[in-house]
Amino acid sequence: MCGSTVAVIAEMKRRSPSKGAIRESIAAELQGVAYERGGASAISVLTEPLHFGGNVADLESTRARVGIPLLRKDFHIDELQLHEARAAGASAVLLIVRALSPEKLAAMIERATSLELEPLVEVHTESELALAIELGARVIGINSRDLETLNMDAQVPERLLGLVPSGTIAIAESGIESRADVEARACWGADAVLIGSALSASGDPESAVRALTGVARSARAH
């Protein structure tokens, strides 16, 4: 995923707790094809049904139509969910530091890796980032949104991206809507950006993704 430009991880979600309905009519496999044609490096598929309107079938149908990596985005708290993700065609899974004890997080990282799933370890604070690094996470997501309050803080990625070791993939998440937003996170040291609502809401997702690709990466200090 680490090329000369910032990779775009295009996310499909029908609704969210912070925005409500985004586009309930999304057909996962068609959205996935559009994202791939637009130049997405990977696709994030929300499979959580209650708050986001997703399901595992979305992951399966997308896998049948696209060749790029798929991230299963859900509240993963049990190792059985990792086996389910692998069987449905996921290449990676989201693990949220705040949702797991350090011991459980370590076990989930180990299990995911053994299943050939790449754990994307998501953090929001310095202490969460330190734990992710300590546990050897190879891909770390910096979420601008506090999942407890749902408040956004653009200073979070600005502050934390530069602290991610250079050998680790750093992904900026949440609050990214425009090319200028991608460029800002590139300057802060992002290797990739995960963009959900702006792309899911678009009537032309292929063009929407294409408009956000090609932003040059900047080396981090570490």
Residues classed as catalytic: 11, 13, 73, 122, 143, 173-174
Phi/psi for 13 (5° steps) reads -150, 140
Which residues lie across from 142 on neighbouring strands?
A: 123, 172
Cα gap 155→211, rounded to integer Å = 24
Beta strands in the chain (DSSP E): 7-12, 15-16, 20-21, 42-46, 70-73, 92-96, 118-123, 139-143, 169-173, 192-195
Q: What is the CA radius of gyration of the chain?
A: 16
Residues 158 and 149: beta-carbon distance below 8 Å: no
* Helix/strand/coil for 121: strand
